[in-house]
Structure 1
Amino acid sequence: MKRACQRVISKLSLCLLALPFSATHSSAQVQVVVNGYNPTQQISRHIYGHFSEHLGRCIYDGFWVNEGMNVPKKDRIRLDIVDALKKINIPNLRWPGGCFADEYHWRDGIGPRNQRPKMVNTNWGGVTEDNSFGTHEFLELCSLLGCEPYVAGNVGSGTVEEMSKWIEYLNFNGVSPMTELRKQNGRDSAWKVTYWGVGNESWGCGGNMTPDYYSDQYKRYSAFAKSYPNAPLKKIASGANVDDYNWTETCMRNIGPRGMWGITLHHYTLAGGWWKKGPATGFSEEQYFGSMKSCQFMETLINRHGAIMDKYDPEKRVALVVDEWGIWTDVEPGTNPGFLYQQNSMRDAIIAANTLNIFNNHSDRVRMACLAQTINVLQALILTDKEKMLLTPTYHIFDMYKVHHDAMLLPVQFKSPEYSNGKERVDAISISASKDKDGKVHVTLSNCDPTKKIDVNLQLSGYSFKSVDGRILTSAKYTDVNSFDQPDKIKPVAFKGASVSGSTVSVQMPALSAVVLELK
């Protein structure tokens, strides 16, 4: 009976995929089949991770503030930020970089703070840092957040011994020089850090290496990156820049699936290319469309890098770790160009919603990701101005989408209507669905078309529902932002545009919106 039902669903899916759609009118329609039978693929909560580099005001004047600042603090960790991130169940935090990781020497950031040497951050603004935020401070932050630390080790300018001893300092509980040093610095027990990056962007700022050279260096550094009792390392290789498929091919061939837990992919959304990124606010529809096109390229990248990985790892043991993603725009006028401070608009929320749906639907291979970056840098979740703090539209997407953490993926099949600009077209709708441990089904949808509403008909095979609740994030214009004068201009509100009848859910998706539905 089960197989017969699945054959019917498959035939229905083919029919639905053949239906014509038009984006030339004020509204469009899309038919979606959600396969609810025997879900087997879990959506890892680590897809919803974040990245905090020593860059601009992310660490200093973000997480880590002056003693005299009148905000709730533990030591110098800002607790209103901690509380906001705990609300979205932040699963992991990547540190100290980024490009900064390959010029960072961990011993400079331990011990009495007034004795730590200063350093010049040559990658980001040429500013001098006092190293007051180091290993102990980062791991205390992760403890307060209740998240897993993800540490990027220094391969570019560091030594094998330096990396090896940092791991020993973090993870070994026996008698050794590094554990004694850790105890002298106030920490008796090991932290048991699991996620370990062996270099960052080794093709660029991490050493300008070739893939053959890097894969040899990875094996050398990895050989001395030891797993200590009750602290097994999940080693992550520095992977490709966007569509450098040769990098993935070479690393998969030379390192092999047994040599790494994951390999990274970096892709930033750009409105018009690296030299025409465009502003974070006041952008044109052409730039908005360019951002949507660049964002949706993530699907192509995952498919193509994944196909290469499948050739060497058909069992999908190696995770694709997209540990830098998000929109990169021009910096805000009047700010340090090396600090990468940009506003966060309704456009950014749509980019986040679309990207997270892509990750969910590819969770068989994408098992970890980190948005760049958490505070005051690039596509930030939080912006600060001295004591003031605001939550960006992107933050609200992560809040809405947290229902997918560790839930079981329900595959979706549909053909999206198109959003067009001139002769170019992108998909208007993105969707993902999951079932949580309590049996609730959640569906997240986004509509990037800024002018056309879309009617979505969801057919959820294997289920019958009695109620649907929802929340929506939308705004009048894609350039709208949350400012310190209007911090709640864009925030989720109750969504009343969905109705349910048995296994069918009808959704009226407004233009420029993201929606989460809970079905019971």
Structure 2
Amino acid sequence: MLPFKKPIRTAVAFLAAVMAGKGVAAQDATGTLHFKDAQITINKNIYGHFAEHLGTCIYGGFFVGDTSRIPNTEGLRNDVVEALKKLKVPQLRWPGGCFADTYHWKDGVGDRKKRPTIVNTWWGGVTEDNSFGTHDFLNLCERIGASPYLAGNVGSGSVQELSDWVQYVNFDGTSPMSKWREENGRKQAWDVQYWGVGNEAWGCGGNMTAEYYANEYRKYATFMNNYSKKSRLFRIASGANSGDLHWTEVLMRDIPNHMLEGVALHHYSVIDWDKKGSATGFTEVQYAATMRQAWKMEELVTKHSAIMDKYDPKKRVALVVDEWGGWYDVEPGTNPGFLFQQNTIRDAVLAGLTLNIFNNHADRVRMANLAQAINVLQAVILTNGAKMVLTPTYHVMEMYNVHQDATLIPITLKSPDYILGKDTVPAVSVSASKNAAGKVAVSLTNVDPKKTQLISIKLEGMSLKQVSGRILTSANLQDYNGFDTPDKIRPVVFNGAQLKGDQLEVKLPPASVVVLSLQ
């Protein structure tokens, strides 16, 4: 048994014990919400997701084919579609990832029986039959109400290939590509706005230098024509690997602002790339190390933004964190190339902490993509045949979607630290927003797995009378929703917050995520 395991209790019973103050040491955190300084919009695209041809993310996850006994519409799983609608997914990235720079989109349109196969050399060496292609993905996005984000092939593709793809999906006039689209069953163009110009060009996308890639980007971007009368193309450059500040410096210096709408950044909360550790059988030491890596996002966003500010003081170019999340060892007995891992309370706290960082940097971070949507890495949905599970991360993303396109309320916060060995992380993370109707949302995470946080937040410049909320927590950090226990972890009503004049007081249980609604 792991040394950090507590006696097993239900989440509700555990929460009741914590709120009653039984056997839990408490710490104090203080802060101020500055309502008068609320000006910046939290772009809904911060809450985006990622779907790669990797493991069972696409096949068995999103897509089962129209002959499957699993309820589907044109091959897309009905249960998955409904779950993603509830999540209010703003945008979805496809087809990769590393897979994108080996993917040739023309292989995935037209008669499925005539489509060529390829070997997915990046993920498991399996045969990709191209039965899920451009039409399927863009129709999926329409069904769930998400904007598509297409990742173009720069690594093994050509300028002509990417230019043709833009024309195929966006041009409503007469052209070879639009005619082909109509022959394949779609008359009206989809009007795809978001485009990635390659992926991880420093690694699987071509092992390029920053200087070389900047020139390649300029060439490819030049031939991506803007056919739409409604929206301008939003071109996203393949960005830095975590702390590679030189990469961002070169892109911002060498690519003219008028050719660039977004610069990507990838960062995973990995303890050790050679020994990532179990997704469920981890110790508190491993938990603390993961939280330290998650909190590093604050440093990365700050430093990369500072470089972007130097070249783009008006903040026209967005920082796009289009791959983020926890990455652990695969589940025992599964294909190592499929990256299938379970999802625990650790992942819920990681998600809450990261989303608060993105919200609080909404002036520059205007788009992000959790990796990945289904059955891969920090997934929001897991499937096994006809069974489907919503993970703790799903519930955090659903709770936090109240921030989408709301106005950020700046906060100053003084938090105690969670310290274990060499790892130190602020115990409390908070972000807040106000929507068009005047309702205020405050999201809080307690990283500390043992101590309750007593939080006092001054409401500066606004009078609020009512507070309600939901909480996600469980008795053990290692708890997860299994296929036989799909509702073990779910949001429940939170009664640990109260308003006292201009003070919001919150009693935040260990390892928990809370979203409050105030009006």
TM-score by length of 1: 0.94
SS at match of 1:170: helix
Aligned 1:110-509 pairs, distance under 5 A? 110-230=109-229, 231-270=231-270, 272-509=271-508
Q: Distance in 2 between matches of 1:424 and 1:364?
A: 29
Contact 1:465/1:501 (<8 A) preserved: no
Q: Secondary structure at the match of 1:37?
A: helix
Q: Give 3-state SS (helix, strand or coil) of 1:475's partner.
A: coil
* CA 109–90 in structure 1, closer or farther in 2 if over 3 Å, else same: same
Alpha-carbon contact 1:463-1:502 (below 8 Å) kept: no
Q: What is the CA–CA distance in structure 1 between the aligned matches of 2:238 and 2:377, rounded to whole Å?
A: 21
Which residue type is aligned with residue 339 of structure 1? F
The residue matched to 1:323 in structure 2 has which SS? strand
Secondary structure in 1 aligned to 2:336? coil
Paired residue secondary structure (2:150): strand
1:67 Cα deviation after fit: 3.6
CA distance in 2: counterparts of 1:423 and 1:383, whole angstroms? 34
How far off its partner does 1:286 sit?
A: 0.7
Alignment-mate amino acid for residue 391 of structure 2: T
Q: Secondary structure at the match of 2:36?
A: coil
Deviations 1:10-36 (A, max 9, x none): xxxxxxxxxxxxxxx811001110001
The code of the aligned residue for 1:507 comes to V
Alignment match, 1:517: 516
Question: Match of 1:196, SS?
Answer: strand
SS in 1 for 2:333: coil
Distance in 2 between residues matched to 1:171 and 1:412, nearest whole Å: 41
State the distance in 2 between where 1:481 and 1:360 align: 26
The residue identity in structure 1 corresponding to 2:33 is V
The alignment's C-alpha RMSD in Å is 0.9
Instruction: Give the distance between the partners of 2:322 and 2:513, measured in 1 at CA.
Output: 23
Q: May I ask how many residue pairs the two structures share in their alignment?
A: 495
Q: Deviations over 1:460-493 (max 9, x none)?
A: 1111111100000001111111101111111000
Q: From the superposition, tell whether residues 178 and 492 of structure 1 become closer, same or farther in structure 2 (CA, over 3 Å).
A: same
Tell me the distance in 1 between the aligned counterparts of 2:324 and 2:295. Answer: 12
Which deviates the most, 30-39 or 155-164? Answer: 30-39
Deviation string 1:142-179 (CA, Å, 9 cap, x unpaired) is: 01011100000000000000000110001111111111
Contact 2:67 2:75 in 1 (8 A): no
Q: Could you tell me which amino acid in structure 2 is paired with residue 146 of structure 1?
A: G
CA-CA distance at 1:425 after TM superposition = 1.5
Q: CA deviation at 1:72?
A: 2.3
Per-residue CA deviation, residues 320-361 of structure 1 (Å, 9 max, x unaligned), is 000000000000000000000000000000000000000000
Deviation per CA, 1:386-432, whole angstroms, max 9, x where unpaired?
Answer: 00001000000001001100000000101211111124311111000
Shift of 1:275: 1.0
Quote the residue 2:10 is aligned against. none
CA deviation after TM superposition for structure 1 residue 518, in Å: 0.3
Q: 3-state DSSP class of the match of 2:33?
A: strand
Q: Aligned equivalents of 1:70 and 1:166: distance in 2?
A: 33
Whole-angstrom distance in 2 between the partners of 1:262 and 1:182: 28
2:338 is paired with a residue whose SS is coil
Cα separation, 2, equivalents of 1:441 and 1:49: 22
Q: Which stretches in structure 2 are left out of the alignment for 5+ residues?
A: 1-23
The amino acid of 1:319's aligned partner reads: A
In 1, Cα distance between the equivalents of 2:490 and 2:277?
Answer: 25
Shift of 1:70: 2.9
Contact (CA 8 Å) 2:378, 2:393: kept in 1 or not? yes
Contact 1:69-1:387 at 8 Å conserved across structures: no
Query: Partner of 1:338: helix, strand, or coil?
Result: helix
Q: Extract unaligned runs of 5+ from structure 1.
A: 1-24
Q: CA–CA distance in 2 between the matches of 1:66 and 1:239? A: 34
| Amino acid corresponding to residue 99 of structure 1 in structure 2 | C
After TM superposition, give the deviation of residue 257 of structure 1 in Å. Answer: 2.2
Over residues 286-323 of structure 1, what are the superposed CA-to-partner deviations in whole Å (9 max), with x where a residue is unaligned? Answer: 10000000000000000100111010001110000000
Distance between the aligned counterparts of 1:451 and 1:82, measured in 2? Answer: 37
Partner of 1:15: none
The one-letter code sitting in structure 1 at the alignment partner of 2:209 is T
- Aligned equivalent of 2:13: none
Offset of residue 198 of structure 1: 0.4
Cα separation, 1, equivalents of 2:69 and 2:472 = 32
How much does 1:68 deviate?
4.2
Partner of 1:75: 74
Q: State the one-letter code of the partner of 1:136.
A: H
1:72-105 residue CA offsets vs partner (Å, 9 max, x unmatched): 2111000110100100110000000000000000
How many Å separate the matches in 1 of 2:190 and 2:293?
A: 39
Runs of 4+ in structure 1 over 6 Å off: none
What TM-score do you get using the length of structure 2 for normalisation?
Answer: 0.94
Matched residue, 1:30: 29
Task: Give me the whole-angstrom Cα distance separating, in 2, the residues matched to 1:57 and 1:42.
Answer: 35
Superposed, 1:76-91 pairs within 5 Å as 76-91=75-90
- 2:37–2:410 contact (8 Å) kept in structure 1: no
Distance 1:315 1:238, change over 3 A: same
Which one-letter code corresponds to 2:323 in the other structure?
Answer: E
State the percentage of identical aligned residues. 57
